[in-house]
Structure 1
């Protein structure tokens, strides 16, 4: 049984169809796929010629993980995040997030795209075999950088295994990153467990090429 939630499978299938990529390895309900293709965020990601397929996939993944594919335009406090950061769009934090301001879907995409371009630059620098990975594999590394940060990635067993040529072992590290800090205590969080399990499967089994 797949560990990738049905809604995420549907969104990724819609993206693959919109960008005209090959594959066909993702089976979802056709009616659901049509609905997902109408999602404005997925359309924006698919239509941008300036980003790689890996970035497109990673951004759609984050849209599901962070907001269940619903655009969030008003900043909120992430009470489960480290330091409870002010957050908006699909998990954006930092100086770009201003309390009380409304962020349109287009502005969210612009801010998120800028960050994912940076993640890709970092991934290419850190991962010895980056160019040999399928876009789905690359996307899981980008999602890790978005969710856990470059510092955690740079010291991770995931990176060490990947650069030793053990890409399958690197993929299997994803489910281990399932903890967050709750009231000062490291705790397994269901959302992070779901993200890790799904990314582990996507990294190991899914292919676009």
Structure 2
């Protein structure tokens, strides 16, 4: 049984369909067609010709993991996150997030796009075989960098295995990154477990159709 949530899988299939990847093999998948027609975020991502396919896939992944494909335009305090940061859109914190401001879907897209490109630029040089990886593999590493501190990735067993040529071993590290800090204590968070299990499969098994 796949560990990639059904809605995420449909969103990724829909993105492939919008980008024309796979020679239209998803046209017979009604759920993918519906996602392509209704997912405004995926439509915006697919239409952006200035970003890599890996970033596009990672953005759609983040849209599911961070907000279950819903638009979150009002900043909120993330009480589960470490430090309880002010958060908006699909997990955006820090510069550009202002309390009381409403962020339109376009505002969110611009905030996220810039950060995802920065994350890709930071992660790629850390991986010896980056250029040989399928965009789905690259996207899982980008998602890790989006969700976790880059310092954690730099010293991780995941990175060490990848750079040793053990990609499947690196992919299998994803489910281990399932803990968050709640009231000063490290605990397994269901959302992070789903993310880790899903990314492990996406990294090891999913590939962009030729």
Give the TM-score range, shorter chain. over 0.9
Cα deviation 1:89-113 (Å, max 9, x = unaligned): 0000112111100001011111111
Deviation at 1:29, TM superposition (A): 4.8
Alignment map for 1:110-189 (pairs within 5 Å): 110-189=110-189
Q: Name the SS for the 1:114 alignment partner.
A: helix
Q: Is the 8 A contact 2:63 2:69 kept in 1?
A: yes
Distance in 2 between residues matched to 1:4 and 1:106, nearest whole Å: 27
Distance in 2 between residues matched to 1:13 and 1:33, nearest whole Å: 5
Deviation at 1:34, TM superposition (A): 2.6
Deviation at 1:35, TM superposition (A): 2.5
Relative to structure 1, the CA distance from residue 78 to residue 131 in structure 2 (aligned partners, 3 Å threshold; closer, same or farther) is same
Question: Is 1:106 paired with 2:102?
Answer: no
The TM-score with structure 2 as length reference comes to 0.95
Distance in 2 between residues matched to 1:193 and 1:102, nearest whole Å: 30
Cα deviation 1:125-164 (Å, max 9, x = unaligned): 1111000000000000000000002111111111111111
Q: Which residue of structure 2 lines up, in the alignment, with residue 192 of structure 1?
A: 192
Deviation at 1:183, TM superposition (A): 0.8
The runs of 5 or more residues in structure 1 that have no matched partner are: none
Q: Is the 8 A contact 1:10 1:28 kept in 2?
A: no
Cα deviation 1:48-88 (Å, max 9, x = unaligned): 00001100000000000000001100001111100111100
Q: Is the 8 A contact 1:25 1:207 kept in 2?
A: no
Distance in 2 between residues matched to 1:56 and 1:46, nearest whole Å: 7
Deviation at 1:123, TM superposition (A): 1.8
The TM-score with structure 1 as length reference comes to 0.96
Relative to structure 1, the CA distance from residue 24 to residue 207 in structure 2 (aligned partners, 3 Å threshold; closer, same or farther) is farther
The runs of 5 or more residues in structure 2 that have no matched partner are: none
Q: Which of 21-30 and 57-66 deviates more? A: 21-30
- RMSD of the alignment, in Å? 1.6
Distance in 2 between residues matched to 1:187 and 1:202, nearest whole Å: 24
Deviation at 1:23, TM superposition (A): 7.5
Deviation at 1:27, TM superposition (A): 10
Q: Which residue of structure 2 lines up, in the alignment, with residue 4 of structure 1?
A: 4
Distance in 1 between residues matched to 2:55 and 2:188, nearest whole Å: 27
